[in-house]
Structure 1
Amino acid sequence: MIKQTALAVAASALMAASSIAATQPTSDEALERMRSFQPTGQSLDMATVPQTGEVADAIRRNLERVRLPEGFSIDLYAVVPDARHMAIGPSSGVVFVGTRKTDMWAVTDRTKNRVADEVKRFAPAISFTQPGPCFSQDGFMFVAEHNRVLVFPAAEFFFEGPDVAVDIVVPSGELIPREEESFNHGARVCRIGPDNQLYISLGQPYNVQPREKLKLYEDLGIGGIVRMQRDGSEREVYARGVRNSVGITFNPTTRELWFTDNQVDGMGDDIPPGEINHAPRPGMHFGMPWYGGGTTRTNEYRNDDPPEGLTFPVVETVAHAADLGLTFYTGRQFPEAYRGGLFSTQRGSWNRTTPVGARVMFTPFEADGSGPSGETIPFAEGWLDDETGEYYGRIVDVLQLPDGSLLVSDDTAGAIYRISYNGSRD
């Protein structure tokens, strides 16, 4: 009798759990509900990421390896699983963080002591695909996914709960044709330009794209940067000949676009170089697939005459370091030499005999923002052990906090770091 009662209770509990699960909407259903300001049924008791314990302690110990210029220091800002590209809410300072998976994170420093108090999943009912966030100045957060673009009005207000106001800018399957979806070079980054338009980079999925794909990719901006109105209309190809850019930004002085690009693999340790490019106007072509990085010709198109009017990179970086996120420094905390300059990241190599990268780089700029005034040099490094070749972190993005310090994301350690300056400003 007791055994039968226990079985009945267990069966009842299982049926109840199944009933609850059945009422939970799919990701697409949840999206449609939130577009209509309807609840999704998600629990208000939202899961958070622990900010203390063994993981945080280990990350802090690893930061002791990092070398910085005199007067600078680096600290753990937040433990954020798979942290990649970041966007800071203009009114709240909340840091929204994308990943190469299905999650987005909201990172909050409620006490303003420059250490995160809370890290929790953003819009947990939505299953993202490699989300990359960016903000407009009026507080709209756009999220560029592999093949969809969403917008979250008032994300800084709604992030506290599981349901958020959302709309679709580019429907699923319309950013690129479905048949061109790929696990390779699928991460997207976005920015709202000074013209109030949305810019999105679209990496092409091949090492070097085949000839039969050339026209399609040129027409659609795959292997390039596209721009559109904030509602998704009036799409155009802004830049072509870009292999796989995972970092775009605008110079605040000139209001012109700069971006990194990752070069062709398999040509040797030291070629082709990585790139930092300047695109001050639409319609420019940056050389791919005729050039695999800098002025290095690709093997596949070596005997072809390249188009006229190609633009080569302003800065060539060490080969295969994987240059990613970048931002111009507009703060006042750092010494004068850094103001107006460009900070950029190198995630680190995977196909090089001697590994390189896993660091933050700095390029000084002319006061008028027209271009570099000196060489690109390491600013923060040490995540790569030069003797063993072991990586203690992989650096993805860099962003400036309102106080003038820098945030740096690491998708391997699962962390965001904060770099600050406490030395002399003479």
Structure 2
Amino acid sequence: MKYLLSATALIGLLAAPAVSQSNLEKLGAFKVTGTKDHTYIDQKAPEADSIREVLKGISLPAGFKIELYALVPDARHMAMAPQGTVLFVGTKKSKVWAVMDRNRDRVADEVKDFAPSLEFDIPNGVAFTKDGFLYIAERNRLMLYPAAEFFHESPDVVAVPIVPQGELIPVEEESYNHTARVIKVGPDDKLYVSLGQPFNVAPEEKAELYKETGIGGIIRMDRDGSNREVYTYGVRNSVGHDFHPETGELWWTDNQVDGMGDDIPPGELNRQTEKGQHFGHPWFGGGTVRTNEYAGQEVPVDVVHPAVETIAHAADLGMTFYTGKMFPAKYKNAIFSAQHGSWNRTEPAGARVMVTFIDDEGNATMEPFAEGWIDENGEYDGRPVDVAQMKDGSLLVSDDFANAIYRISYSE
């Protein structure tokens, strides 16, 4: 049986009991689970027309246009398969979506859940290796799906726990806050996974545990989960990172401390040049602004301050370096990043796509690229989360408020 659901109708389905975790053992033994059906999202649902109306008001540089690519419930971080046949989209709920453009018209015509025989727990982070292995980072697990680009057609897939359930972080540290992991494959062919710490400002009694486990940092490991180490320290909650195509340096966004006012502290785009660097949390709330909780303390570490300070509370999330050929030459190796939008600022800020240009010395300058998702009443019409590149050089932007993915293209 084939189910066709609108994004709105899916809310009730997501609240239903999850599939038994024992299915993972069956899949590991190459056995069927008995799961027969996928859930399909109706791409002609009425909300598609409403989203297209909103997109008419989005401003972009000359020559660029933005269009609706797909209706995808709770769309968060994205990973395009190496052959370009399917886009995998994570969520902060219990689904991972497989998005396909079968007729190659640059608009998705099929969106279905990936691996419905498995239970997912906040599968926000998705990433592909160059040779076609899909990794999905959940709240407290890291999974590998070999050949997912082709096996996704079946409800049952090959699934391998790289970091088993309960071992990404200590179980007692599991939280409902700052749990959206991001994963990328580095130029060293290792996995880099962000582990946001759950507090507004991390308390002193957690310092040693977090330093040891990498909570409040970015960890690195081999593709089989071995040789785990903490690569980055002093992170509050990073939900976006990528590697410079030429230098291999790790750049990442960070969401900064709340409750200090509308205009401080700034958000961050950071540049990391070597393993073990410390970026200031919890002594700094964002940029060079000290946190109230640690204001009187001497900072015991050497701190690397951000490459770019962004507007306070705009919630800088997913990012990618542009390596395509569709856009003008000035955008080569620039960073495109999503500002999700503020949740507690008196005047809302963010809800846009930014572009950051980096000069030969590594100096970075950020400016708006696509904006207009905050209307004249100060209400959100969309909240961008992540940016991913298609093989033709166009960009995809996910939006977990509008339950959509947009495509930005360029022509002279």
Confirm or deny a common fold (TM above 0.5).
yes
Is 1:128 the counterpart of 2:117? The answer is: no
Cα distance, 1:26 vs structure 2: 4.1
- Measure the CA separation in 1 of the matches of 2:46 and 2:187: 43
Cα distance, 1:25 vs structure 2: 9.8
Code of the residue aligned with 2:336 in structure 1: it is F
User: Is there any run of 5+ residues in structure 1 with no aligned partner, and where?
Assistant: 1-23
Is 1:393 the counterpart of 2:385? The answer is: no
- Measure the CA separation in 2 of the matches of 1:119 and 1:416: 11
Name which of 404, 409, 412 aligns with 1:420: 409
Cα distance, 1:27 vs structure 2: 3.2
Code of the residue aligned with 2:397 in structure 1: it is V
- Measure the CA separation in 1 of the matches of 2:85 and 2:295: 49
Name which of 71, 83, 89 aligns with 2:81: 89
Runs of 4+ in 1 over 6 A off after TM superposition: none
* Matching of residues 204-219 of structure 1 within 5 Å: 204-219=197-212
* Matching of residues 147-158 of structure 1 within 5 Å: 147-158=140-151
Report SS of the residue matched to 1:99: coil
Report SS of the residue matched to 1:332: coil
The structure with the larger Rg is 1
Name which of 272, 276, 292 aligns with 1:299: 292
Q: Is the 8 A contact 2:278 2:301 kept in 1?
A: no
- Measure the CA separation in 1 of the matches of 2:218 and 2:72: 28
* Matching of residues 359-398 of structure 1 within 5 Å: 359-366=352-359, 368=360, 370-372=361-363, 375-385=365-375, 387-398=376-387
Cα distance, 1:246 vs structure 2: 0.3
The equivalent residue for 1:330 is: 323
Q: Is the 8 A contact 1:103 1:128 kept in 2?
A: yes
- Measure the CA separation in 2 of the matches of 1:308 and 1:157: 47
Report SS of the residue matched to 1:87: strand
- Measure the CA separation in 2 of the matches of 1:141 and 1:328: 20
The equivalent residue for 1:178 is: 171
Cα distance, 1:332 vs structure 2: 1.1
Question: CA deviation digits over 1:204-238, x for unaligned, max 9?
Answer: 00000111111111111100000011111111000
Comparing 98-107 with 305-314, which one deviates more in the overlay? 305-314
Cα distance, 1:308 vs structure 2: 3.3
The equivalent residue for 1:17 is: none
The equivalent residue for 1:410 is: 399
* Matching of residues 34-45 of structure 1 within 5 Å: 34-43=27-36, 45=37
The equivalent residue for 2:69 is: 77
- Measure the CA separation in 2 of the matches of 1:421 and 1:92: 19
* Matching of residues 19-418 of structure 1 within 5 Å: 26-43=19-36, 45-131=37-123, 132-366=125-359, 368=360, 370-372=361-363, 375-385=365-375, 387-418=376-407
Question: CA deviation digits over 1:49-76, x for unaligned, max 9?
Answer: 0001311111111111211111110000
Q: Is the 8 A contact 2:84 2:391 kept in 1?
A: no
Q: Is the 8 A contact 1:141 1:151 kept in 2?
A: yes
Cα distance, 1:130 vs structure 2: 1.2
The equivalent residue for 2:11 is: none
- Measure the CA separation in 2 of the matches of 1:398 and 1:221: 25
The equivalent residue for 2:3 is: none
Report how many aligned residue pairs link the two structures.
395
- Measure the CA separation in 1 of the matches of 2:111 and 2:118: 17
- Measure the CA separation in 2 of the matches of 1:226 and 1:282: 10
Code of the residue aligned with 1:371 in structure 2: it is G
Question: CA deviation digits over 1:176-198, x for unaligned, max 9?
Answer: 11111100001100011111111
Cα distance, 1:113 vs structure 2: 1.1
- Measure the CA separation in 1 of the matches of 2:219 and 2:394: 30
Question: CA deviation digits over 1:247-271, x for unaligned, max 9?
Answer: 0101111111110000000000010
- Measure the CA separation in 1 of the matches of 2:229 and 2:39: 40
Q: Is the 8 A contact 1:399 1:406 kept in 2?
A: yes
- Measure the CA separation in 2 of the matches of 1:78 and 1:122: 16
Question: CA deviation digits over 1:329-377, x for unaligned, max 9?
Answer: 11111111111111111000011110000000011122x5x5245x311
Report SS of the residue matched to 2:231: strand
Q: TM-score, normalised by structure 2?
A: 0.94
Report SS of the residue matched to 1:379: strand
Give the structure with the higher percent helix: 1
User: Percentage identity across aligned positions?
Assistant: 60
Q: Is the 8 A contact 2:18 2:119 kept in 1?
A: no
Question: CA deviation digits over 1:118-174, x for unaligned, max 9?
Answer: 000000011211111101111100001010000000000100110111100001111
Q: TM-score, normalised by structure 1?
A: 0.91
Cα distance, 1:46 vs structure 2: 2.3
Report SS of the residue matched to 1:57: helix
User: Is there any run of 5+ residues in structure 2 with no aligned partner, and where?
Assistant: 1-16
Code of the residue aligned with 1:346 in structure 2: it is Q
- Measure the CA separation in 2 of the matches of 1:277 and 1:64: 33
Tell me the C-alpha RMSD between the 2 structures.
Answer: 1.2
Q: Is the 8 A contact 1:348 1:355 kept in 2?
A: yes
